[in-house]
Amino acid sequence: MAAKGLLRFLVAFLLLVGCLGRPEPPSPAPSSAPRTVDGITAIYNFGDSISDTGNFIREGAVGMMERTGGLPYGSAIGGATGRCSDGYLMIDFLAKDLGLPLLSPYLDKGADFTHGVNFAVTGATALDTASLAKMGVNMAHTNSSLGVQLQRFKDFMASTTKSSTEMREKLASSLVMVGEIGGNDYNYAFATNRPQVNNSGLYNIGHMLTGAVESLVLVPQVVNSITSAAKELLDMGATRVVIPGNFPLGCVPSYLSTVNEQDKASYDGNGCLIGLNLFAQMHNVLLQQGIRELRRMYPSATIAYADYFTAYVQMLRSASTMGFNATSAFKACCGAGGGAYNVDMDRMCGATGTTVCARPEEYLSWDGVHLTQHSYKVMAELLYHRGLASPAPVKFPRQ
């Protein structure tokens, strides 16, 4: 029974699926210069599918995720754009609140980058592919790790500024978002070592234990990669940096569905798997320690920790008052299988046999992995207007 329970627990660390989309131009920038909020004139964003606005699809990604290359992704905004949701993401709502145009993806070479660039790529990792490969961890989605994104940023700055002084002046009025990133590193480790159908139970348990050990070993390396990237950006002149933590993995419908744990003692009072949330919190604790060190090194900069974990849990606890249907808090709006989670990892949103809920705005989860537009809007409010990004990276006018 212990082995069976362990196997169910470890299976939860599956590959976070990305999503593709049909590229469409972002919303046009206002004809007049955007208003300035707290002196922010541009946003530079790094990360994965939580904030990718179209880079992944421009890389020419292929594979099983192609079936999410159109509707219903983007259905709330008129069509798929490469965003892994029914509509806009947190980064979009933040840009809107700052009075800036939506961030165009870096790989959209015809875009206007006057007010920022989005370097995030769905499936991206904090560690580079070579480092992960040395541990036997491979991925099929993208090679655009955080290091690759950082180099693209440097190339962009080199091509748009004439000197380091001009670059520092530009960054002094910019908001720099370093993540969310890192979750895919752990998930790829477990995906590499997931159970094999034709092997014995004992072999598979050993295989999964290897994945567990690899993921645990990765945590300090992933955190170091994130904080090192932030340090480089601060050295280049960034004065306001946001570094998000990990989501509560034990609350995510895809993981809950895969584990399907029957022991009530495995869940906390919010209905989330305790073990998975502890793993996510281990990452978050180490990350916050790294952020505190950065603050000591750069006392004149604002380096904010964005608490994605707490924001998500708050949505669960206050679902009804935040406009969600509490009975659907753990269900994917778009998916297959019905039941408590409506998630079938072999039939992701957009695949044959999947359905879409009538009111996505009442659901936290869009496809079992990513959130709905409404969830991302609430998250942005909690983080940047209600204090869960601390210290506040932007001082918004009181409403």
- 78 with 44: CB under 8 angstroms? no
- Angstrom distance (rounded) from CA 76 to CA 237: 37
The burial class, CB within 10 Å (0-12 / 13-18 / 19+), for 60 is exposed
- State the catalytic residue, choosing from 52, 86, 344, 367: 367
Return the SS3 of 389.
strand
Following DSSP, what letter does each residue of 323-369 receive, concatenated?
T--GGGTT-BSEESS-TTT---TTS-TTSTT-EE-S-GGG-SBSSSS
* Helices vs strands, H then E, count in the chain: 12, 8
What is the distance between the alpha carbons of residues 312 and 248, in angstroms, rounded to a whole number? 7
Contact 189, 137 (CB under 8 A): yes
Angle subtended by helix axes 164-172 and 146-160, to nearest 10: 110
Q: Is 370 a catalytic residue?
A: yes
Q: Can you tell me whether residue 210 is helix, strand or coil?
A: helix
Nearest to 237 by CA among 93, 87, 42: 42
48, 49, 115, 365: the active-site residue: 49
Torsion of CA 216, 127, 58, 166, to 10 degrees: 130
Helix (H) or strand (E) holding 175: strand 174-178
Q: Which of 115, 141, 283, 370 is catalytic?
A: 370
Q: What gap in Å lies between CA 311 and CA 280, rounded to an integer?
A: 14
Which residues are catalytic, by number?
Answer: 49, 367, 370
